[in-house]
Amino acid sequence: MNYGSQSINEIYETYIKARNSIGIVNQSHLGKFLVSGPSSLQLINHYSPAKGDDKNGNGFYTILMKKKKFIAEVLVLRLSLYRFLVIGSEKNKIYKFLKKARRKYRSSFVSEVTNEYALFAFHGNHAGDFFKDIDYRYIYRAKRQNYSYYQLLSPKKDEFLTIKHFFGLNFVPISLEVEKLFLYNNNVILNIDKIPRSYRLGVCNELYPFSNPKVKTKDIKIRKYELDRNYLVTNKHKIYNHFGKKIGIIHCTYRLPYKKFPFVIAFVRRSKMKNVSIIKIGKNEALIKPILNY
């Protein structure tokens, strides 16, 4: 996990402070694309395992896929009946995909509006109590994988005014690196495009279950473990059972200051989960202990 210019201790201290109140992170750098027109929702639903409708709220996370090809994980916000914002970090890739996808849905239109909107996310134990009674159409409670939190959309011209407003309410400013700690601790899988292809579809199906039975995937379970030693583990390392047979792969690791050893988020074949025992690092072996509340 890359912590940028902040130390692990600084990130963790800010995380604890925000977790015990409400933290605000500016996500305005993300690419934003307006999909509009009578067939706009049909376009999004055609390439998304998570389906938008009038019952599931106005904001949801999903992945865009073309057949078996993973495109990107995105946030979809409904602005009005026929207007949706598709938001994600891979700007060029998402925009090119949506422009091609609209050829199938001629009554839809796609335009880039990254510089027209600011976006903020709110994390912390008190965020739910603060936002649940606020009646404002551009506050969204969106679920990313298995973690729900609040997001606010505002005009780009009001970006700094919005930040100033929430700072005045004693919201804790958090960086993107601190936000990652909220996501990891709530079991959100990041960098899906970096997952090896042999596991990627299985992980996508676990996160956002496919409705198409024709898509065959490995039966993957996402698991969190704690190492029993202070080894440097990367996503190049594999997980083995006590017979030395590979049964899974590492996705990422991260550390917490009060823990002696790092945590590992891994993908394991569901049928082999009970046999997980070691990670091999060169000639060394490290035992891993499952985190039962994952």
- Residue 294 pLDDT grade (very low, low, confident, very high; cuts 50, 70, 90): very low
Examine the domain organization and report whether 154 and 273 are in the same domain. no
- Rounded CA-CA distance 204/68 in Å is 10
What is the phi-psi region of residue 80: left when phi exceeds 0, alpha when psi lies from -120 to 50, beta otherwise? beta
CA 99, distance to chain mean position in Å, is: 24
Examine the domain organization and report whether 199 and 180 are in the same domain. no
Residue 190 falls inside a structural domain? no
- Within 10 A of 281 (CB to CB), how many other CB atoms are there? 16
Examine the domain organization and report whether 62 and 202 are in the same domain. no
211: which DSSP letter?
S
- Residue 153 pLDDT more than 60? yes
Question: pLDDT of 188-209, one tens digit each?
Answer: 999 999 999 999 999 999 999 9
Please report, to the nearest 10 degrees, the dihedral formed by the alpha carbons of residues 44, 47, 51, 53 taken in order. Answer: 20
Examine the domain organization and report whether 120 and 233 are in the same domain. no
The encoded tokens of residue 289 equal 């202990």
Examine the domain organization and report whether 227 and 172 are in the same domain. no
Alpha helices by DSSP H, the chain: 8-19, 40-46, 91-101, 127-131, 159-168, 176-185, 197-207
**Arithmetic mean of pLDDT, 25-49:** 96
Residue 83 falls inside a structural domain? yes
| pTM, two decimal places | 0.89
Q: What is the pLDDT of residue 290?
A: 57
The total number of structural domains in the chain stands at 2
Examine the domain organization and report whether 180 and 215 are in the same domain. no
- Residue 218 pLDDT grade (very low, low, confident, very high; cuts 50, 70, 90): confident
Nearest Cα residue to 44 out of 26, 28, 66: 66
Examine the domain organization and report whether 147 and 58 are in the same domain. yes
Residue 121 falls inside a structural domain? yes
- Residue 280 pLDDT grade (very low, low, confident, very high; cuts 50, 70, 90): low
Q: What is the pLDDT of residue 245?
A: 79
Greater model confidence, 261 or 122: 122
Q: For position 208, which CATH number holds?
A: 2.40.30.110
**Arithmetic mean of pLDDT, 55-78:** 89
Q: What is the pLDDT of residue 187?
A: 87
Contact between 239 and 276 under an 8 Å Cβ cutoff? The reply is yes
- Rounded CA-CA distance 171/17 in Å is 10
Greater model confidence, 252 or 162: 162
Nearest Cα residue to 187 out of 213, 156, 225: 225
Please report, to the nearest 10 degrees, the dihedral formed by the alpha carbons of residues 222, 88, 22, 125 taken in order. Answer: -30
- Rounded CA-CA distance 44/47 in Å is 6
Q: What is the pLDDT of residue 18?
A: 97
Residue 79 lies in domain: 8-185
- Residue 2 pLDDT more than 50? no
Amino acid identity at 293: N
- Rounded CA-CA distance 193/94 in Å is 13
- Residue 11 pLDDT more than 60? yes
Place of tokens 């804790």: 172
Examine the domain organization and report whether 14 and 97 are in the same domain. yes
Residue where a domain terminates, one of 185, 205, 220: 185
